[in-house]
Amino acid sequence: MGVDGFNNQVGNIEILEKWIEEEQRIILKKAQMVNDVFWKHRDQLIENSFEGAEPLLGCRVQVKDGISISWFVWKFYKPRALKGKSRRYNEHIKKPKGEFKYSLSKLYKHANEKQHDTIRYCEDNFAELRDKLERLRKLKIWIVAYKKSEEKTSNKTDDNNDEQESENVEKSNED
């Protein structure tokens, strides 16, 4: 492959990497919008006090090394030091291994019946977004592997060119 072909491929890889970053930003925005739908509905339930609603189910969208979309349950305990006051902590709900979607029955178990439609809507959207994130993650892995293989190929070509140049120098010295 000539230098122009290599430079063209490098440009294509850079375009692909930018596209992946943009797709991740779009997914993050969509996930945050779906997350907001869940919390607004939950807040409305509490305001309207449907059947003494105290929903304990929550969802979150986090950005650390990547984008994480998960569900949790609020649990309470009473530490002795606080003398009867309750403290709250979040217990993560596990998603089935190798799946992009949480078990709806597991989520419903921690929710008020009035939340079921919203939970289904949110989880269907979250599952689709998790699937897309996984595909983008794999694409990034392939890009890294491709770049490494190009570096190795480029280094071998440079070594061969160096050998050829030194042979040419030796031949010219012999003449």
Q: Would you kindly state where each structural domain of the chain is located, as residue ranges?
A: 3-144
Q: Are 27 and 129 in contact (CB under 8 A)?
A: yes
Q: What is the mean pLDDT of residues 129-143?
A: 96
pLDDT at 51 over 50: yes
Q: What is the tens place of the pLDDT at every residue in 6-35?
A: 455 667 899 999 999 999 999 999 999 999
Could you give the CA distance from residue 75 to residue 90 in angstroms, rounded to a whole number? 6
Q: How confident is the model at residue 167 (pLDDT cuts 50, 70, 90)?
A: low
If you average pLDDT over every residue of the chain, what do you get? 84
Could you give the CA distance from residue 139 to residue 145 in angstroms, rounded to a whole number? 10
Per residue in 27-45, is it b (16+ CB within 10 Å) or e — as a string?
bbebbeebbeebeebbeeb
